[in-house]
A and B are shown apart, each in its own frame.
Chain A
Amino acid sequence: MNIRDVILESVRKHQPPPRKLPEVSLFHSLQEVDRKALFTASLRELAGEVVAEAPADFAEFLRTRFPAAKTICSAVPEYAGNSKPDDFTEWEAAGEIDVTIVRSPLGIAETGSVLLSEEEFRVNTIGFLAHDIVILLDPADIVENLHDAYTHPHFQNKAYSLLMSGPSGSADIGGVSVHPAQGVMTLTVIFWPRSIQH
């Protein structure tokens, strides 16, 4: 018998008597939820920023917010940027990126999270080797909670699905949460409906 079969046999031999699998509901709130407001509050608790409307002049917005940024990698049609994900054939080269711009297909009001995958990133490392990240999110794509979120097809068919909730951080030193960690230094979500082009 190979190791796999030895282990499985040991598991089968020792398993406790079977117990039922419970049904899991969606746990929607009984009151009406303002998803935009809740998403904004949740993300702010995790040190993310929310911009309530698509800026009229996006280039100007970026220049003001990230004055030192040279390399802006855009994965979205709404903005050209000066580089594209496909430019980074070696994934580790994405460390050169100052600002990544990407669109998320789903936001979660409960936690202020946004869903991203290789479909949105094309080169996954643009999501965390970049210094900062800006995420476009259509408010109509915000769901109430994690139960809703996990019904999204990405989790069934993408190689990599990420729920990103605020900029990377750590509380490993004295329990204080700080934000220079391994990934992006800042995370900004802009409520930007899909149809608006700039």
Chain B
Amino acid sequence: MNQETTPSADRQAPSVRDLKARLPQHPSVKSTVALMIPCYIDVFYPEVGVATLELLEKLRVDVVYPFDQTCCGQPMANSGCYQEAHATEELFVKNFADFDCIVTPSGSCTHHVRDKFTAAPDSAARRKVSASVYDLVEFLHDILQVTEFPWARFEHKVALHNSCSAIRGIGLASMSERVHDPVFSKPKNLLERVPGVQFCDFERPDECCGFGGSFSVTEEAVAAKMGYDKVEFMHNSGAEYIVSSDMSCLMHMQGCTKRLGMDLKVLHIAQILNGASQ
């Protein structure tokens, strides 16, 4: 069998058309989704989970939160520890297999479940889960096609950070490496619908922030330097807030800004779209 060698940047996201065809057609209830809240948001940033849920409810989405969920398995799988990821991924499949649409406020978890979900044994259920997961931004932008957030206003200068998983993993925005691709950014498109948001351009906009999962501790010095460089570029642009659809990057960058004593705060995009004013 021929080896698939196409880099993931070239792969298509699951077809938006396919998903819409499977969902109920009622105009006020656009879909039934299972909400997946990443483990680090559950523990460290529950307000982001709350904002995500409230936002979906405001958009009249019927949201179910499978209570026995834990984690997508990425911390173990990314460390090479596939055997240790096995049971966690199986639990994930068990919790989410009954849903046609799973939404999570995390590009990296989405990328993991969609493209790297191989520690759990292959099955129809596992494949269905991989094909059914969406990052919150993708869901709002491509499926619900939200055009306004009337409850939201954010009068601040924003440095928008798109994570490497978001850009090169699931295609939420164009990447600087592919110079001939049309420039686009789904997170930016959503934020542009929120009155008051001012975008600050900063240097090296899509260079990795240095989190990289367990890399952030196994190669701590380099991770910190990458983070420091990143927040310095953003700070120099005049931004007041770093906004991202990935809380893991924000957690790392917040750790850097606080240590540097920088007056640069972080917010997840869900919080702004849900109406946070600061």
Contact = CB atoms under 8 A, between A and B. Distances in A.
B44 to A, nearest CB: 41
A17 interface: yes
Contacts of A19: 2
A17 B4 CA distance: 12
Size bracket, chain A contacts: under 10
A19 B3 CA distance: 11
Interface residues of B, number: 3
Contacts, number: 5
Contacts of A174: none
Interface string A1-32: 00000000000000011010000000000000
A19 B2 CA distance: 9
Nearest to B2: A17
Contacts of A17: 1-2
Interface string B1-39: 111000000000000000000000000000000000000
A131 B3 CA distance: 52
A16 B2 CA distance: 8
A183 B1 CA distance: 50
B39 to A, nearest CB: 39
Contacts of A16: 2-3
Nearest to A19: B2
Contacts of B1: 17
A37 B1 CA distance: 50
A17 B3 CA distance: 9
B4 to A, nearest CB: 12
Interface in A16-64: 16-17, 19
A19 B1 CA distance: 11
Interface string A63-80: 000000000000000000
A14 to B, nearest CB: 13
5 contacts: A16-B2, A16-B3, A17-B1, A17-B2, A19-B2
- Top 5 nearest A-B pairs (CB, nearest first) are A17-B2, A16-B3, A19-B2, A17-B1, A16-B2
